[in-house]
Amino acid sequence: MSAFYQIFHDTHYKYDSPVSLAQQLAHLWPRSSPWQRCTEQALEILPEPTTRRDELDVFGNPLTRLAFERPHDELQVNARLRIEVMEKPFLDFNLSPEWEVTRSALTYSAKPMTEDILEACRYRFESPYVHLKRSFVEFSQVCFPPGRPLLLCVQALMEKIFDEFTFDDEATQVATPLVEVLERRRGVCQDFAHLMLACLRSRGLAARYVSGYLLTQPPPGQPRLIGADASHAWVSVFCPASGWVDFDPTNNVQPALEHISLAWGRDFSDVSPLRGVILGGGTHDPDVRVTVMPVSA
């Protein structure tokens, strides 16, 4: 079973004063996987960049590097995608290895590690937005009793975050420390994903941040509004028996056909849809409009 989507991701910057030089990094190409493929893609950029280079970043995500060497007072970046998302095989969480066994497999012991274990280890440590602290271990303590299968533990942690935190898009900013998110019990999908990562990594487990999109449904009787959707974020945890398994703490679900992956890394800083450095510009805020539309095959 598959689902097909047309995605529009439009970003517009209007600067208070001209920008003379700029370097931008765009994570707006979706990566391919066994459960997802991109059949059409286009990236429209105004003004036209002086140079553009498409490559893969260190995590294997498609990355577009843009350089602007002429003055400009606005920037428009429009991504157009057509995606097929395929159904993932069923996983029996009861059959996953005990969480302590998984932690041991990810711990250096002077023995050769398999390639998948080595790859997973890069997602065990601190990153710019995810710090490892005792408070995260204590918060998740009830979810990790001795001998419990790993994926059941992660599912319990996802449910705990969903039950105890309130979605509030005015409670935090991108750089709000996780300890404050934990204290306030409020935030957005990015905060909940970072919190879940901190809880897992603080226990020696490997987990990565997934950036993407989520199909949202309009209120009953209302049409789907163009530009009313948003980027989304969730977590993927490494399980030696199953590979990487996704969890969405914002919605308390295991991502399936309505989740579209864009990129993954250690945290948001690795996979921001568009970020860069500019000379000039004054104050400026992006106007971002995202539309996710189901389409026929």
The domains located in the chain, with CATH, are 2-86+272-295 (2.60.40.2250), 93-268 (3.10.620.30)
Position 226 scores a pLDDT of 56
SS3 211: strand
Query: What are residue 2's DSSP bridge partners?
Result: 86
Position 233 scores a pLDDT of 97
Contact 133, 180 (CB under 8 A): no
Q: Residue 16 corresponds to which tokens in the numbers above?
A: 């208070």
pTM of the model: 0.94
- The tens digit of pLDDT for each residue in 202-242 reads 999 999 999 999 998 776 777 665 555 889 999 999 999 89
Among 55, 206, 36, 49, residue whose Cα is nearest residue 120: 206
Among 239, 180, 251, residue whose Cα is nearest residue 212: 251
Residue 277 to residue 240: CA distance in whole angstroms:
39
Contact 82, 295 (CB under 8 A): yes
Residue 206 to residue 223: CA distance in whole angstroms:
41
Contact 47, 72 (CB under 8 A): yes
CB-CB neighbours of 34 under 10 Å: 9
The residues of the chain scoring below 70 in pLDDT are: 219, 223-228
Task: List the Cα angle 139/144/149 in 5-degree steps.
Answer: 150
Position 282 scores a pLDDT of 87
Residue 82 to residue 99: CA distance in whole angstroms:
38
Query: What are residue 209's DSSP bridge partners?
Result: 235, 265
Contact 55, 63 (CB under 8 A): yes
Contact 228, 288 (CB under 8 A): no
Among 293, 219, 228, residue whose Cα is nearest residue 260: 293
SS3 76: strand
Contact 6, 293 (CB under 8 A): yes
